[in-house]
C-alpha cells in the first residue's frame, strides 16, 4: 500500500437513510470533472469505483455513495470515523465534457439515475455558466440529493414512486415526451438499463452516436 494513496476521512454527511457523502483529504489530487477514483477502506483489500462529486476547485474530495444491500464496500465505508483512512487510486476515466463544446457554449443534456448524478454535480460546480438540462431519475423526491446545487430551471427531478418531483415518471418517459435541440450533447450516468433505453430513444430522435456519452455504474 502506498502511503501517498492514503487519504484521511474528514466527515460523512447523510443525505438519506442509505445515501451519504464521504469527505476526504484531497492531497493535491488533480482531476477533470466527470472522472472517478478507485476507493476502499485502508484496512481492506476491496475497492470500488466512485465518481468524484466535488468540484475541481474544492479543497476536499467528496464522493456520493449509496449503500448497496450486502455490498462489500459501500456499507463498510460508512462505518468509518473521522480520522480513519481510505485508499484511493486515480483519477480514472474519460467521462468529461469536451472543452471545445464548453467554450462554444453548446447545450448539454445530463441524464442521471440515483447516485449517477455525482459526475454532473462535479461538472456544474467546476465549470461556470454551463448551458445544461439535468434529468435526475429517482424513486422518491427525498432522493433529490442536494438539488439546491443546480439552477432550479435547469434541474428536472423525475420520480416514479411519488408525485413530489417535477415530472412523474422515468427519465426515459420525460425524454419521450420532450424535444431537444439537435446540437445538444448528451451524457448519461448510472444504471445500465436506463442508459441503454435513454440512448436508444435519443438515437431514434436523430441524435448521432458521437453526441451520446455514457458512464455505466452497474
Binding-site ranges for ligand FAD (CB under 6 A)? 36, 48-51, 64-66, 68, 71-75, 93, 114-115, 118, 215, 217-218
User: Toward ligand FAD, which CB reaches closer, 51 or 211?
Assistant: 51
Q: Give the three cell numbers for residue 63.
A: 464522493
- Minimal distance, residue 162 CB to ligand FAD, in Å: 19
Q: Give the three cell numbers for residue 3.
A: 502511503
Cis peptide before 211 (omega within 30 of 0): no
Starting at the edge strand found earlier in the chain, the sheet holding 6-14 runs 48-51, 36-41, 85-92, 6-14, 19-24, 61-66
Residue nearest to ligand FAD (CB): 71
**What number of residues does the chain have?**
218
User: Toward ligand FAD, which CB reaches closer, 106 or 170?
Assistant: 170
Q: Give the three cell numbers for residue 27.
A: 492531497
User: Toward ligand FAD, which CB reaches closer, 48 or 176?
Assistant: 48
- Minimal distance, residue 205 CB to ligand FAD, in Å: 26
Which residues lie across from 110 on neighbouring strands? 134, 187
User: Toward ligand FAD, which CB reaches closer, 160 or 184?
Assistant: 160
DSSP string for residues in 160-202: SS-S-SSEES-HHHHHHH----TT-EEEEEE-HHHHHHHHHHH
- Minimal distance, residue 181 CB to ligand FAD, in Å: 28
- Minimal distance, residue 71 CB to ligand FAD, in Å: 2
- Minimal distance, residue 34 CB to ligand FAD, in Å: 10
User: Toward ligand FAD, which CB reaches closer, 72 or 183?
Assistant: 72
Amino acid at each position: 500500500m502506498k502511503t501517498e494513496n492514503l487519504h484521511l476521512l474528514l466527515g460523512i454527511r447523510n443525505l438519506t437513510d442509505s445515501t451519504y457523502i464521504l469527505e476526504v483529504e484531497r492531497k493535491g489530487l488533480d482531476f477533470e470533472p466527470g472522472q472517478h477514483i478507485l476507493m476502499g477502506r485502508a484496512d481492506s483489500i476491496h475497492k470500488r469505483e466512485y465518481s468524484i462529486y466535488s468540484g475541481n476547485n474544492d479543497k476536499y474530495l467528496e464522493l456520493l455513495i449509496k449503500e448497496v444491500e450486502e455490498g462489500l464496500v459501500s456499507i463498510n465505508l460508512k462505518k468509518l470515523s473521522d480520522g480513519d483512512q481510505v485508499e484511493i487510486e486515480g483519477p480514472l476515466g474519460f467521462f468529461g465534457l469536451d472543452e471545445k463544446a464548453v467554450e462554444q457554449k453548446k447545450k448539454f443534456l445530463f441524464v442521471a439515475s440515483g447516485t449517477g448524478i455525482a459526475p454532473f454535480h462535479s461538472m456544474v460546480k467546476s465549470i461556470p455558466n454551463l448551458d445544461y438540462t439535468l434529468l435526475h431519475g429517482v424513486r422518491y423526491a427525498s432522493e433529490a440529493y442536494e438539488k439546491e446545487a443546480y439552477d432550479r430551471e435547469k434541474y428536472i427531478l423525475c420520480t416514479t414512486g411519488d408525485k413530489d418531483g417535477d415530472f412523474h415518471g422515468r427519465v426515459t418517459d420525460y425524454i419521450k415526451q420532450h424535444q431537444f435541440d439537435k446540437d445538444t450533447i448528451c451524457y448519461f450516468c448510472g444504471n445500465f438499463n436506463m442508459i441503454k433505453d435513454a440512448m436508444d430513444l435519443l438515437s431514434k430522435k436523430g441524435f448521432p452516436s458521437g453526441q451520446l456519452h455514457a458512464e455505466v455504474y452497474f
